[in-house]
Amino acid sequence: MPELPPDLLGTLRGAGRVVALTGSGISAESGVPTFREAQTGLWERFDPLELATPEAFARDPRLVWDWYEWRRGLVERAEPNPGHLALAQLERRLPAFTLITQNVDGLHQKAGSEYVTELHGNILRSRCSLEATVVEDYAPGEAPPPCPNCGAPLRPDVVWFGEALPTEVSRVASEAAGACDLFLSVGTSSLVYPAAALPFEALENGARLVEINPNETPLTPYATHVVRGEAGKILPALVGAAFV
């Protein structure tokens, strides 16, 4: 069992409002390749920055769609790990819990988390490139398929480089971070903004900050507690010890 700071258990038990921010580390433990790792096989000659922008989609929509279809296949085969399951348990145990994720794989929902704020969208969804509405039913065959409502090409429902986060998503995440008394940063590099700013919003409100990560990050010096290790090992131990 991982060694946990004793006062962290008491902090978690007594917390009124908890926010957890998850990054690619927790998904990597389920076998989901990170953004850079998704450049293998037929795709290794492409720079992901050339495939994940509005300009790339406008230039070659089929290329971008096919890359995301390949990545969707990888995500669909992945299963939640114990870290995902532990966060779903926290949602049920705590009086107020907000889960914010930078991941686009839907594994938190698959693990049983009901209220997930997806900062960067969800790769398993598609939306109209013109109307921005999510489209669930469309005719397969064309790449990309046309929107059944207006005929514009569909695109993955993710936030590309150069695009702003959805306004409502940003508001929910920022308000939750600013109102919590305990913030968990889980498996995130703390390099990608605006997500990387959320722990500091919590700190400004007097929250305690816990970093769960195998590696040091720019957030480490500011954390109240630093627990080194994989989320799939740390989180189940933390939840189990705090709520036995």
pLDDT tens, residue by residue, 169-189 = 999 999 999 999 999 999 999
> 50 and 22 share a domain?
no
User: Are residues 20 and 92 located together in one domain of the fold?
Assistant: yes
211 touches 219 (CB < 8 A): yes
212 has a pLDDT exceeding 60: yes
Residue type, 12: L
**Does residue 188 contact residue 25 with C-beta atoms inside 8 Å?**
yes
Residues 230 and 146 in one domain: no
Quick one: 45 and 85 in the same domain? Answer: no
Indicate if the pLDDT at residue 37 is higher than 90.
Answer: no
Same domain, 93 and 197: yes
What is the number of structural domains in the chain?
2
**CATH number, domain with residue 55:** 3.30.1600.10
Are 149 and 244 contained in the same domain?
no
The verdict on 110 and 127 lying in the same domain is: no
Range of the domain at 180: 1-31+80-120+164-244
Together in a domain, 145 and 202: no
Shared domain for 192 and 232, answered yes or no, is: yes
Choosing from 84, 108, 120, 225, the catalytic residue is 120
Average pLDDT on 133-141 reads 86
End-to-end CA distance of the chain: 15
The rounded distance, in Å, linking the Cα atoms of 211 and 59 is 40
d(Cα 242, Cα 9) in Å, to the nearest integer?
5
91 & 128 share domain:
no
Q: What is the mean pLDDT of residues 140-165?
A: 94
Tell whether 186 and 235 lie within a shared domain.
yes
Residue 22: name the closest of 92, 93, 113, 95 by CA. Answer: 113
Where is pLDDT greater, at 37 or 9? Answer: 9
Task: Find the mean pLDDT for residues 186-199.
Answer: 96
DSSP state of 141: S
84 noted as active-site residue: no
Instruction: Specify the CATH number for the domain of residue 182.
Output: 3.40.50.1220
Rg (CA), the chain: 19
The predicted pLDDT at position 43 comes to 55
**Which of 110, 141, 158 is a domain's end point?**
158
- In angstroms, rounded to a whole number, what is the distance separating the alpha carbons of residues 240 and 3? 13
| pLDDT score for 50 | 78
Residues 127 and 237 in one domain: no
Distance CA 84, CA 54 (A): 31
